[in-house]
Structure 1
Amino acid sequence: MKGSLARFRFMAYLTGVGLLVLTVGVILKYAADAPTLVAVVGPIHGFLYMIYLVCAFDLSLKCKWPPLYTIGVLLAGTIPFLSFVAERKVTHRVTAKMAETAPAA
């Protein structure tokens, strides 16, 4: 579960940053007629989002999340800044679960 969490966290940050850059690109595309940033970052973000989905779904299976929670985490990569919030909440949730299931020393 620890490895899945690390992969998820990395992809959440990467997807979040990509989406923020893409948002700036969309603003530039329509405000300054500069579509280049969207043309470059758009496909990259799309690819990274697919990897994010796989990592988040893998973690959800290992942690046995409810379907609605899983869907919320999966959609977090589509709203600017939300992937960062979801990453924090997921990290706290998974860390608590790992501590709960860890053998007593």
Structure 2
Amino acid sequence: MSTDEQVVATADPRAIASALTLFRVSAIVAGLAMFVLIVEMVLKYGFDNDVLTWWSPVHGLIFMVFAVATANLGFKVGWSVGRMIAVLLLACIPFIAFVEERRVVREVTPLTQ
């Protein structure tokens, strides 16, 4: 049994379920926030309209919460740091962020039971 499998085998299912819930909520909010950021960039650079300029730092804060939620879940289920970084990088691609969230949920849900 590898080290990663030992971490999963001894992890508390309730702690994993809690981390998964935080991950899901933050992933969905970060994915939606990305679309607002895209609208903000189109308005700013395409139409010289600064109405949503305040959104960039808010989006950054939301993404940082998502990064912490990803690390929290990743350490609880025994992911490598590379795997956690891959999840974060995939979350930077519109629409793919939602696909990756669903894939992670399908993968991790059995560990919560």
TM-score over 0.5 (shorter chain)? yes
Name stretches of at least 5 consecutive residues in structure 2 with no aligned partner: 1-15
Question: RMSD of the TM alignment (CA)?
Answer: 1.4
| Count of aligned positions | 98
d(CA) in 1 for partners of 2:90, 2:31: 9
Secondary structure of the structure 2 residue equivalent to 1:36: coil
Listed one character per residue, the Cα deviations across residues 38-75 of structure 1 (whole Å, up to 9, x for unaligned) are: x1211110001111000000000000013332111122
- Rounded to whole Å, the distance in 1 between the matches of 2:76 and 2:89 is 19
2:28 aligns with 13
In the TM superposition, structure 1's runs of 4+ consecutive aligned residues that sit over 3 Å from their partners are none
Give the 5 Å matches for 1:1-105: 1-37=16-52, 39-98=53-112, 102=113
Counterpart of 2:73 in structure 1: which amino acid?
Answer: L
Corresponding residue for residue 11 of structure 2? none
Which 10-residue stretch deviates more, 68-77 or 84-93?
A: 68-77
Which residue pairs with 2:6 in the alignment?
A: none
Q: TM-score, normalised by structure 1?
A: 0.85
> Cα distance, 1:21 vs. partner?
0.7
Task: Identify which of structures 1 and 2 has the higher relative contact order when contacts are C-alpha pairs closer than 8 Å and 6+ apart.
Answer: 2
Flag structure 1 segments of 5+ consecutive residues without an equivalent: none
Question: How many Å separate the matches in 1 of 2:79 and 2:110?
Answer: 13
